[in-house]
Amino acid sequence: MNSRTTTEQQTLSEYNRARTLQYLHHHGIASRAQIAKALHLTPAALSKISNHLLASGAIVETGALEGKGNRRSIGLAVNARAFQVLGVKFARSLIEIGLFDLAGKPSFIRELPTVENTTIPQAIESLHAEIRRLLAEHPHILAIGMAVPGPYLRDRGHTAVVSSMGQWRQVNFRAEFEHAFDVPVIIEQDARAGALAQYLFDPNPANENLAYYLLGEGIGLGVIDHGTVINGSLGAATEIGHVSIDVNGKACDCGNVGCLERYCSAVAIHEAMLGNGMLATDSRLTHREACAELFARAQSGDGQARELVERIGTFVGYGCVTICNAFNPSRIVIGDIVAQAGEPLLQRVREVVGERVIPEITQSTQIELSALPTDAAVTGAAAVAITYILDHPSQFFASGT
Average pLDDT over residues 54-64: 92
Model confidence band, residue 258 (pLDDT cutoffs 50, 70, 90): very high
Average pLDDT over residues 177-198: 94
pLDDT tens readout for residues 122-177: 999 999 999 999 999 999 999 999 999 888 888 888 888 776 677 888 899 999 99
Q: Is the pLDDT of residue 360 over 70?
A: yes
Model confidence band, residue 298 (pLDDT cutoffs 50, 70, 90): very high
Average pLDDT over residues 284-298: 94
Model confidence band, residue 64 (pLDDT cutoffs 50, 70, 90): confident
pLDDT tens readout for residues 229-245: 999 998 889 999 999 99
Domain 204-371, classified CATH 3.30.420.40, yes or no? yes
Start-to-end Cα distance in the chain: 22
Nearest to 94 by CA among 81, 74, 113: 113
Give the strands of the sheet with 141-148, arranged side by side: 106-111, 94-101, 84-91, 141-148, 185-189
What pLDDT is recorded for position 67?
A: 63
What residue type is 199 in one-letter code? Y
For the chain, the average pLDDT equals 91
Nearest to 279 by CA among 262, 261, 263, 294: 294
Nearest to 148 by CA among 208, 207, 84, 222: 222
What architecture (CATH level 2) is domain 83-195+378-396?
2-Layer Sandwich (3.30)
Cis preceding linkage at 151, omega within 30 = yes
Do 79 and 58 contact (CB within 8 A), yes or no? Answer: yes
What pLDDT is recorded for position 31?
A: 93
What pLDDT is recorded for position 9?
A: 67
Q: Given this chain, do its domains 83-195+378-396 and 204-371 carry the same CATH topology?
A: yes
Average pLDDT over residues 24-39: 93
Q: Cα–Cα distances in Å, from 183 out to 132, 280, 382, 385, 395?
A: 11, 46, 14, 11, 10
Residue 7 to residue 389: CA distance in whole angstroms: 21
Each domain of the chain, given as residue ranges in start order, spans 3-78, 83-195+378-396, 204-371
Encode burial over 51-70: b for 16+ CB neighbours within 10 A, e otherwise. Answer: ebbbebebbbeeeebeeeee
Average pLDDT over residues 385-398: 94
CA geometry: angle 149, 151, 156, nearest 5 deg: 100
Q: Cα–Cα distances in Å, from 391 out to 206, 386, 397?
A: 22, 9, 12
SS3 233: coil
What pLDDT is recorded for position 70?
A: 62
SS3 109: strand
What pLDDT is recorded for position 157?
A: 87
What architecture (CATH level 2) is domain 3-78?
Orthogonal Bundle (1.10)
Average pLDDT over residues 86-100: 92
pLDDT tens readout for residues 337-346: 999 999 999 9
What pLDDT is recorded for position 382?
A: 96
59-66 and 72-78 beta bridge pairing:
antiparallel
pLDDT tens readout for residues 194-211: 999 988 887 666 678 999
What pLDDT is recorded for position 401?
A: 42
What pLDDT is recorded for position 1?
A: 45
